[in-house]
Structures are given as C-alpha cells and as structure tokens.
C-alpha cells in the first residue's frame, strides 16, 4: 500500500473561503504532483515539484498555489474558493531519478465542493 | 512527460468480450506507463514498457510497445466486471519531472 495521504477526503466550503488541501508522503520521493479531475474526465496536471523549494505550474491553468518546504509535504492552497473550483484533487509522488520514468503513487483524493 | 493521445474515449463491452485501448504519439517515446482508475478511486500503476516491441502480460492483460516506440496498447482478454474503470497511459520523455496523462479510456463491462 502506498504511503501517500490526502486530507480532507471531502470538503464542502462557501464561496470566498481560503482552503488548503494537504498531501503528505512518507516514501522520501522527490517529485510530487497535483491533478484536478472531474468525474469521468482527464487528469489535468496543475502543479508539480522536483524537490524542496521547487514548484512549477502544470498544463492546466489554476488559481491555486503550492509550496514545498519539506520533502514529504506538498500542500495546495486556494485563497478564495469559487464554485468553478468544485472538482476532485489528486496528489501523487514518485522517485526522482533524473529523466527516468518511475512509478507514481496517488493519494485517495480530496473531493472539493464550493457552494 | 510527452503528449500522448488515447483511443477510444469510451468502450462498452459484454462480459467475456475482449477490449483494447491504444496510446499514440507523434514522437518517439522513451518509455510508457499504464494506470487503472476504478470508479471513485485513484489511479494505480499497472506496468511500464521501455524496449521497442516489448510485450508484457499480467494474467488477462497484455501490454505492447510499438516497434517505433510511438504507440502502445493494452489488451484485456475475456473482460470481467472487475475490469471496469478508466485506463490511462503516460509517456516518459525529455521533460524533466513532468507527468502528464492521456485522456483515458473508460471501460464499461455489462454482465
């Protein structure tokens, strides 16, 4: 079983609220990722990180921000939630081996509903 | 990761029928990975292919990497209801660290 955890699993929040989605992994992986996925749809990469103090924007523009102060922790923050942010957010991690592709492990996801 | 296109987007089969999904690229891929996401779940790694023409099997699943390393396929023999889900591919390449997936193929199996 993969050691990557997301909290909360479900979140219903009002418009305009600030929220932080937590993602932690205990595998010592350098590379971490955030995806946004609507039901039955694609996995859209919104942020990724090569390691501590490195963050990059993904292919899908997002109003969220991320930080990577510790290897094991990659939180995602929305400063002002809107109904358009309603979606599932998936966190993933994998070993950093240069250009070599390695297996990615996913968290259980956070289902966010903004009302 | 490099951009890949997956087809078909949806596939409905009767239990016992075979199923194939394809992952295609216009450029040569260094490797390809396949993942499965059950309804309501998260993606889970299935396999990685690296060599040209490589074929790997996992029980009823057969994975193939094209000779030119520009396409890959996942074939399921005699589908079961447990095969239901979305199958994604992702390709490794020169984009350091990035991990992007194909659009996925949603498989529905009717008992």
CA distance A16 to chain B (A): 27
Q: What integer pLDDT is reported at residue A26 of this predicted model?
A: 96
Q: What integer pLDDT is reported at residue A41 of this predicted model?
A: 92
Tens of pLDDT, residue by residue over B102-111, are 999 999 999 9
A13 at B interface, C-beta within 8 A: no
Tens of pLDDT, residue by residue over B48-74, are 999 999 999 999 999 999 999 999 999
Which range, of A43-52, A91-100, B9-18, B66-75, averages the lowest pLDDT? Answer: A91-100
Going by pLDDT thresholds of 50, 70 and 90, the confidence category of residue B98 is confident
The chain A residue lying nearest B91, using CA atoms, is A101
Q: Which of A30, A42, A56, A107 to mutate to test the interface with B (most CBs of B within 10 A)?
A: A42
CA distance B78 to chain A (A): 23
CB-CB under 8 Å, B94 with A40: no
Side-chain-facing half-sphere of B96: CA atoms under 13 Å: 10
DSSP string, B4-54: -EEE-SEEEEETT--EEEEEE-SS--SEEEEEEE-TTS--EEEEEE-STT-
Tens of pLDDT, residue by residue over A52-69, are 999 999 888 889 999 999
Tens of pLDDT, residue by residue over A65-112, are 999 999 999 999 999 999 999 999 999 999 876 656 789 999 999 999
Side-chain-facing half-sphere of B89: CA atoms under 13 Å: 31
The chain A residue lying nearest B98, using CA atoms, is A48
A33 at B interface, C-beta within 8 A: yes
Q: What integer pLDDT is reported at residue A97 of this predicted model?
A: 66
The chain A residue lying nearest B48, using CA atoms, is A103
Sheet with B19-24, strands from edge to edge, namely B5-7, B19-24, B71-76, B61-65, B55-58
The chain B residue lying nearest A37, using CA atoms, is B42
What are the b/e assignments for A28-47, b being 16+ CB within 10 Å? ebbbbbbbbbeeeebbbbbb
More confident call, A2 vs A111: A111
For residue B97, pLDDT over 70 is answered with no
In chain B, what residues touch A58 (CB-CB under 8 Å)?
A: 98, 100
């Amino acid at each position: 079983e993969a050691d990557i955890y997301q909290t909360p699993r479900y979140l219903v929040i009002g418009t305009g609220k600030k929220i932080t989605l937590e993602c932690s992994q205990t595998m010592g992986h350098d590379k971490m990722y955030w995806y946004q996925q609507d039901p039955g749809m694609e996995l859209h990469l919104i942020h990724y990180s090569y390691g501590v103090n490195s963050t990059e924007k993904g292919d899908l523009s997002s109003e969220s921000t991320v930080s990577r102060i510790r290897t094991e922790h990659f939180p995602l923050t929305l400063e002002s939630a809107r109904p358009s942010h309603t979606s599932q957010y998936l966190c993933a991690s994998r070993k950093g081996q240069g250009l070599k592709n390695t297996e990615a492990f996913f968290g259980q996801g956070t289902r966010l509903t903004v009302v | 990761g490099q951009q890949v296109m997956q087809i078909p987007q949806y596939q409905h089969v009767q239990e016992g029928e075979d199923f194939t999904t394809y992952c295609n690229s216009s450029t040569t891929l260094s490797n390809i990975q396949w993942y499965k996401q059950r309804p309501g779940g998260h993606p889970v790694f299935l396999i990685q292919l690296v060599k040209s023409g490589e074929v790997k099997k996992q029980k009823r699943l057969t994975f193939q990497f094209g000779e030119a390393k520009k396409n890959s396929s996942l074939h399921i023999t005699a589908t079961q209801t447990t095969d239901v889900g979305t199958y994604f591919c992702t390709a490794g390449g020169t984009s350091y660290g990035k991990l992007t997936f194909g659009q996925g193929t949603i498989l529905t199996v009717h008992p």
